[in-house]
Each structure stands twice: as C-alpha cells, then as structure tokens.
Chains A and B, each alone.
Chain A
Amino acid sequence: MDRISKIRNFCIIAHIDHGKSTLADRIIELTQTVAARDMQAQLLDGMDIERERGITIKLQPVTMKYNFKGVEYTLNLIDTPGHVDFTYEVSRSLAACEGAVLVVDASQGIEAQTLANVYLALDAGLEILPVINKIDLPQARPEEVRKEIEDIIGLDASLAPLVSAKAGINIEAIIQQVIELTPPPVGDENAPLKALIFDSFYDSHKGAISFIRVMDGTLKLGQKIKMFSNNKAYSVVEVGVFTPKMTSREYLKPGDVGYMSASIKNVADTQVGDTITCAANPAREALPGYKKALPMVFCGIYPIDGARFGDLRDALEKLQLNDAAIFFEPDTSQALGFGFRTGFLGLLHMEVITERLEREFDLDLVVTAPSVSYNVTTKKGEKLKIDNPSNLPPSTEIEYMEEPIVKAFIYTPPDYVGHVMNLCAEKRGEQLDMQFLDANRVKLTYEIPLNEVVYDFFDKLKSRTRGYASLDYEIIGYKQSQLVRLDMLLKGEICDALSIIVHKDKAYERGRLIAEKLREVIPRQQFEVPIQAVIGAKVIARETVKALRKDVLAKCYGGDITRKRKLLEKQKEGKKKMRQVGSVEVPSEAFMSILKFDK
C-alpha cells in the first residue's frame, strides 16, 4: 500500500457540550500518542478560558498511528471550533479533512450548532460518520437519536457506533470506521506545491507558525515559498507534525497535516484559508475558499487606569499575533480617555478576548456597548463605513444607511415557538421559514439585523425557551434601514461612550431604559444631574439623579474610627474608577451596565 493510502484526515463536529473534546482525548489515549501520565483532560483545548467555558476556539491538530488489520495508518485529527463566530475557521479546517465524525448527544439529539457544522462538512464534500455519545447516561435515547439523524440530516445512521467518550465505551469502533469509511487523501507530490493554512499561532522564538495541510507537491525544509494572498516570500525554517508536541520532519507530502515556520513576524501574514506555494514553481491557482477575516462586532476598550493605555496596546498586539481576526485602532473618548476601537468576529469572540485581556494581562477595562458596521451614504454621495456611533455624520447629511443582516436558524421545542416568534418580531426579524422537524423540534429561519442580535437576542432567546432553543446565524448582506444615533446627555453634555446607533422604532424604548439604568448606577453628586436621551436635538427620555444630601449622620464613636476610615477608603477606591463626563462623575460600570437589561 502506498504512503498516501494509509493516511486519514478527519475532524470531529459536535454541538457544545456534546462531548467532542472528551472524545478527542479518548482517541488520543487509545492510539497511545500521549503517555497516560501526560494526559490532561481535554488535551486539545489549550487555553484556560476554552477549558472553563467548555468551548474550543483554537484548532490544534494531532497526528496518531494506529494498526488495523496489519497496516499502520496515520490518522490526523483536526479539532474544530464550536461556535457561530468561528464558522469560517471551521470551514477551513473541514477543508483540510476527508472525513468528519459527527458526535450527537444520545439524550439531547441534534441541535442548531450540530446542523450548521454538518452542512458545512457536507459542502466541503466530507464523509460523515455519525456517532451517538453519552449512551451511559440514564436519559439516553440512542435509537430515537439515530432516527433523528436519519430524518433531519438524511444520513445513514444504521452503522453509527453507540459510545461513551467519558466512560471510554466503544472508542475503537470509531477509529475503525474512520479508517474504513473515510477516503484517503488524493494529491500529486510532483505537482507544484499547494498547502492550505487552517490555523496559525505566534511563538516568541520562531515567529508565526502555520498549521497546514499539504494538498499537492512537497513542502521541504529550506524551500522558498510564498503566500498566495499577498505574494510575500519566505524560506521554510521548520516543518513538522503534531504528536501532539511539534516534532520536526524533513518534509511534508500530499495528505500530510502538520506545521511550518518561516520567520514570519506576524500571524496576519499567515491568514487562515490562504495557500502556500513554491516561490520558484508556483501553482497556477490558489485553493478555493479563502476569505479575509472580517470583524463584524465592534466596541471601544479603555483601560480604567488611563496610565495603562500602553499596556493595553501591548496586550492587544500580543493577542493579535495569535488571532488575525482581531482588529484594533487607537480611539479617544471624551468620557473614557485613550483606548481602542476593536473589532471581532462575533460576540463570543469579543467576550473571550476582553476576558483574556483582563485575565492574562491583568488589565481593568471599560468595554462599551457592542456595535456593528454600518454603510452610510451621504447626501454628497460619499460612501462611509461607520462602526463607531460617535463618527456618524449628522442626520441632515445622511442620504441613507444600511445595516448588516443575518440569516438566523433557531431550533426550539414546539412549546416555545410562540415565544421565539414574538422575540424575533420584537427584534425586527422577518420569518423566512418554519419547519416541524419532528415531534420535539421546530426549525425557524429568520432574517434579523445583526444590530439586534448583538444586543441581547441570545440571552433573551435562552431565557424565553428555558434554555432549550439554539441559535446559529450567518451574515447575508446589508439592507437599507431607518437608523438614528441615540445620545445620552449628562448635565447637558454628550457622553460619547454611551452613544448607540439604533433603529428609529426602537430608539424611544432604548433611550428610556438607558436613562433609567443610568439613574440607578450614577451615584448622587454635589449637584443635581439630569440624564437625557436625545436624538439630534429632540429629548426622548429624561431622568434625574438628585443632589447628594446626606451620608454622614451615623454615629462615629471611638470604636467606629477604624471602621469609618476603611469605609471611606473603599469609597475612595470606587471614586478612582469614576470617569469624568463634564463635571459629572460616572462609574466605569455604568458604561457596561447599559448592555444588560433584565426586563
């Protein structure tokens, strides 16, 4: 048997919590790729935050050996991210595989995320091997789930192994199916080099390291290569495979999955989806599917301590080395001082990055309300892209505005269909389709403005369906819309960091909610603070924080001195975190509290 026929490249796709990472661990264990003592649960999820949240963002492949019927096979497992924000990354890692193990939870069945990724895998032409997991749980209903897979996705699930990744039941069957059912890769090692980049990370010694799948040709140590997207040329310093440690090799051939470093200073030059080819003998065309990562959700990030602006910049630069999808540029807010306008793939991406900034770099941050990128056409015919409400020209100068629209797929038990439809209507959604998939599941398809999705759609969906509904979405384009900028005035002064762009019909309600919230979070000051929500010159909501009158009438006797001082010290600490808007002191939390409304 030739080299390439003994290679199987596959990935695992699953809904969050359906046991993908645990299954990956079991497979690695079974192939003895990692000594038992080095096994740490969920090996592939490298970062703390991923492990804590049980989600995978980064893709870390692993190469394993497995003997089956007297032949030693090379199995490359490529892990995939499990969240809507990372659909593009998922599609690129799928493109590096020939097969996908589809993990479905034996009690919960198929969910939106599962389906979204199955469709991606089908689009990529992958052989899909369904596996029913968590069969050891008392509420498992494997046969119903088997039928669900056949009915909903239309896959033949008759051979689907019943497994428990957690208990290590029937894992061998999965590996054997991967070998028997996944087609081996095809490729010509004498053709010009084509290698797909499906991820990259930054190493402080070696520079950017690309995770690659060789499609055609041979990638050799010392070879001159170039990137298709930007024509930049490099010399290969190291090639190798993941065992799962990086282990260097002389070359990688078609079908191989591994890594390459070439003294590339920035991960932005090893974009996911790009094609590496040979500089001397380049391939005629790139591999299909490359897209430049485009940020969709934007927010302002400011250090609470203004002196740490430099630290914040360094931290963002470091994170960007590893994540080309992060966008940032310096920004100044009157209220919040120096900071950055940052762009992310989606809300989760934004949350993960801000959390990493706070945790790994020990920064205290103010994060403003997320915004999306709007297309603005002015009366003079200029086309602008606006992702910061403060930069929106006055309404008199605007001819029209467009906002990004997503196609949202929502899966919910039938009992909650009414709630979901109401929610979508509140969020300016337009129903495209409704399918009763089976007795327990309805699929709703809507077009919804992304602006509404980034606000509180997901939280509300979860609360109104008691957590049962799941959501997936993709951006489908821009639509003209009646949008206005809503500003908040504190004692007559605009607080730029609180401005938002909102649909005309929503402005009144949002303005009232924000004003009410601000009245709660802004402490009483030495003078009265009027809070106004305005559109242009029109006031649409007003609240007042009354002037401070007393906080001193409590007893202060001998025993209270220390207590009193500590109380004041605490107040002082709180004061440090205040932002000055004109003469009004606003706590940092105020800027974030407007993001969350309980009502």
Chain B
Amino acid sequence: MMSIYVHIPFCKSKCAYCDFVSTADTKCNDADLVNDYFVALLDEIKLSATEFGAQKNTKGSSAKIQSPKVNSIYFGGGTPSEVCVSYIGRVLKQIKNTFDVCQNAEITLETNPCSLTAKKLTEYTNFGINRFSLGVQSFCDNTLKFLGRSHNSTDALKALSLLKNVRESTGANFSVDYLLGVPKQTKSDIDSLIDVVKEYNITHVSAYGLKIEKGTPLYKARTGINEDHAADLYEYLVEQLNDIKLNRYEVSNFAVSGFESIHNLNYWNYGNFLGFGVSAAGFIDGVHYTNPKKLDAYIAKLSDKKLASKKTKAPKSQQQFEYIMLNLRKEKGFNYTDFNKRFGSDFVKTYNTALNELSNKNLIILTENCVRVSPNKFYMLNTIILEFL
C-alpha cells in the first residue's frame, strides 16, 4: 500500500503565516504558468512509473512487477480548489492510468471557503474525489483578518453547507482545519468551532498550532506566540472534541471513530508515499525524495523529461528514529513487534535506557507489545522523542 501526494502551489492570496510553496494571485491568474505547471506535473507522474516500477497491470498484460496499490491520494497546496477543475480531473486520471489505485481509495482535496461552489463540488466528486479538507482556521472574523485569510466566518458556514449537501448526495466526507494559539484567540472561539462541528455533523478536525515561520508577514511583524496560551487552548479543544466523540488519534487530528484520515495515518505509520509537484516529498522503502522548491526549476527539469527529485537514502538508524518520531504522534502509539520485524532489531533492548527513564516519569506507557505517549503528556512529545535520538 502507498499514498500519493500532489502539490498545487496556487493561491488567490497568500496568508500571513503561510510558508508553504505557493504563488499568490497574479500568478494564479497567469494561465500560461498554471498550464506549464500541470504539463510538468502530468509528465512527472508518467515518468515516475518507470522510476518506481509501477506499471499498471492492464488486462492480460504480462507485466513482471506487481505495482504497489495506492489507497490514498491527497491534493494539497496552495489551494487546489483555486485552479480550473479540469486540471484536477486530468491529474487524477493520469494517476489512475499510471498506478494501481484501489477502488475504495481515500481521495482528498484541500479547499478554502471562497473558492467552493456546488457545481465545482459535483465535478470533483465525479472525478472520484471523496473527501474535502476545508481550511476554516477560525470562526472569528478578527482572527481571520489577522491571519490574512481571504474569507470570513459567513463564507465558511456557506462552504460547510455546500459540503454537507454533497455529503448527503454523494457520501463524500469532509474535514476542517483549525488554528490554535493565534494571539487574542479565546476559549469561546473554540466553543464556536464545537457548535459548528455539532451542527454540521463534522467527523474530522485537524487543529494545528500557529507557527511563525521565517519570512512570513507575521514573522516580519514580530508576532509572538505565547506557548501557554496555545497549550491552554489545545487542552480545552481536546476535552471539548472528546465530549462530542471526536477523539484525538494524532497530536493534531481528531475524528469520530472510523473517520480517521487514511492518507495522514500513512505518514505517521511511516508508510510509503510518492509526492508530485513542486517541493513535494516522497518516501519509498527507506529513500527520501524531494522535489525542487522553486517553481521554474521544477518545470525546467521536467521539460527535459527528467524527474526532478533528489534522492537520499536514510541509514537504518535514521529510519528507526523516523519511525518512532512519526508513530509516537499517534494516540495509540505503535506495536513494537512491527518495529522489530521491519528493522530486524529488538526495540526494547535498543532503547532500554530511554524507555525506562520515560516510563518512570510517566511520559510514556509501555505495555507488553505497545508503546504510546501518556494521553496528558502529548504537549511534551518533542522532549519525549528526543530521548530516542
């Protein structure tokens, strides 16, 4: 099994905290550039088939290599819903032609409230998209303004109604993204989120801490994040969501049981995934792939019909650490017999000192074959993971 991530770097406007690779409005309207990008993207998907030996088993073919099955596809950005719908359809078609995509694969598209229309949503679902992730971030207009978002809370509610309708008619589900720790954010902001989750029967919420990245407008404005403020809000959110049956299954992700994101879980399980598009990353059997961060470099490379990614083989010790680092993000932690099988080593023996110290401090819970972070110690995850490095 593996996942595929597709990066769409176009946005109407750039948010004040965003450091993802994306281009703001003028370029989004630059039809030539968008077209060039999708040409390159389609080429990359085609070329990667040879690279990863993932030829599709066509009927009656005698392909020797069994291609890995794809069980999730994720369009992220940028704002994938800002570009012409047909581009998304072509990409998805190319992926399905190139790889063995499972019938019931989870196919997610990131959207923002302003760019959604009923017509667009129908088209997306016709392509096979069955999950939407809506970037709400907040239901407080002042906060949205501060973040430089192009929408307000009314726009968000309109978009949620559209999504709810689509869910009723097609079964395509949706999730909302929320930001924690924005200056002046209060618990009542979270209460509004909870009300909305209840009202629209939302089954999945991702809540990330606002991080001030270098080079962003918020960084330049010297915005300070108060860790305690963020942590207070986080704890309150965990509690509130838990009350309405959205359980934390990863540090920042909450879902009604059975609605966890397959795509994201695959990252935290340290599974294989391919990344397409500018700045996208992939990971296949211990090798990290990274595409160029600059749009023109990415397009130029692919116009020579060459894959643009840089490969780095992770040594076993690094893989082991990455495995732990990601798997401990999950509420359930991981089963270390799986770790032992994967790396041919003895987890408990290898990390004996760290495990003893961490469990003595009640930071982790160690059972016969599982290790996980103590539920109320998630805010110290980095400190915990460091002990394994």
**Chain A interface residues toward B at CB < 8 A:** 524, 526, 546, 548-559, 561-562, 564-565, 568-569, 571-572, 575
Contact = CB atoms under 8 A, between A and B. Distances in A.
A555 B133 CA distance: 14
A558 B5 contact: yes
Interface string B191-230: 0000000000000000111010000000000000001101
A526 B322 contact: no
Contacts of B312: 562
**Interface residues of chain B: helix, strand, loop or mixed (majority):** mixed
Contact of B267 (A546, A553, A561): A561
A379 B205 CA distance: 72
B386 A568 contact: yes
B343 interface: no
A550 B281 contact: no
A571 B387 CA distance: 11
B170 to A, nearest CB: 26
B283 A561 contact: yes
A558 B283 contact: yes
A584 to B, nearest CB: 14
B251 A553 contact: yes
Interface in B210-259: 211, 227-228, 230-231, 234, 251-252
27 contacts: A548-B380, A548-B383, A549-B227, A549-B379, A550-B209, A550-B231, A550-B234, A551-B227, A552-B209, A552-B378, A552-B380, A553-B208, A553-B230, A553-B251, A556-B326, A559-B5, A559-B275, A559-B279, A561-B283, A561-B326, A562-B312, A568-B325, A571-B382, A571-B386, A572-B386, A572-B389, A575-B386
B140 interface: no
Contacts of A548: 379-380, 383
B385 interface: yes
A585 to B, nearest CB: 10
Contact of B381 (A552, A558, A575): A552
Contacts of A568: 325, 382, 385-386, 389
A556 B268 CA distance: 9
A582 to B, nearest CB: 15
Given A558-B273, A561-B288, A552 B281 contact: no
B64 interface: no
A380 to B, nearest CB: 47
Nearest to B230: A550
A558 B275 contact: yes
Given A556-B267, A561-B267, A565-B318, A551 B382 contact: yes
B252 A553 contact: yes
Given A556-B326, A558-B273, A568-B325, A550 B379 contact: yes
Interface residues of B, number: 46
Contacts of B208: 553-555
A552 B386 CA distance: 12
Contacts of B386: 568, 571-572, 575
A521 to B, nearest CB: 16
B187 to A, nearest CB: 16
B251 A558 contact: no
A565 B267 contact: no
B356 interface: no
Contact of B288 (A526, A562, A571): A562
Given A546-B228, A561-B267, A571-B386, 5 more contacts: A548-B383, A552-B382, A559-B279, A559-B281, A562-B312
Given A552-B378, A553-B209, A562 B281 contact: yes
B361 A526 contact: yes
A587 to B, nearest CB: 15
Nearest to B271: A558
Contacts of B281: 558-559, 561-562
Nearest to A552: B381
A379 B235 CA distance: 59
Nearest to B275: A558
Contacts of B361: 526
A86 B231 CA distance: 56
A149 B274 CA distance: 79
Contacts of B326: 556, 561
Contacts of B363: 526
Contacts of A575: 386
A354 B280 CA distance: 47
Contacts of A569: 389
A526 B357 CA distance: 13
B66 to A, nearest CB: 24
A144 B321 CA distance: 72
B78 to A, nearest CB: 13
B380 A526 contact: yes
Nearest to A553: B209
A526 to B, nearest CB: 6
A552 B250 CA distance: 11
A557 B325 CA distance: 12
A377 to B, nearest CB: 49
B211 A554 contact: yes
Given A559-B279, A559-B280, A571-B386, A553 B288 contact: no
Contacts of A562: 281, 288, 290, 312
Contacts of B3: 558
A177 to B, nearest CB: 61
Contacts of B181: 553
Contact of A526 (B211, B230, B318, B383): B383
B219 to A, nearest CB: 14
Contacts of B389: 568-569, 572
A549 B227 CA distance: 7
A524 B283 CA distance: 34
A552 B326 CA distance: 12
A565 to B, nearest CB: 6
B329 interface: yes
Contacts of A524: 227
B180 interface: yes
Interface string B360-389: 010100000000000000111111011001
Interface in B274-323: 275, 279-283, 288, 290, 312, 318, 321-322
B150 interface: no
A524 B252 CA distance: 22
Nearest to A561: B322
A552 B381 CA distance: 6
B264 interface: yes
Given A526-B383, A558-B273, A561-B281, A552 B227 contact: no
Contacts of A546: 228
A73 B363 CA distance: 82
Contact of A553 (B180, B283, B383): B180
A564 B252 CA distance: 15
B379 A558 contact: no
A565 B322 contact: yes
Contacts of B279: 559
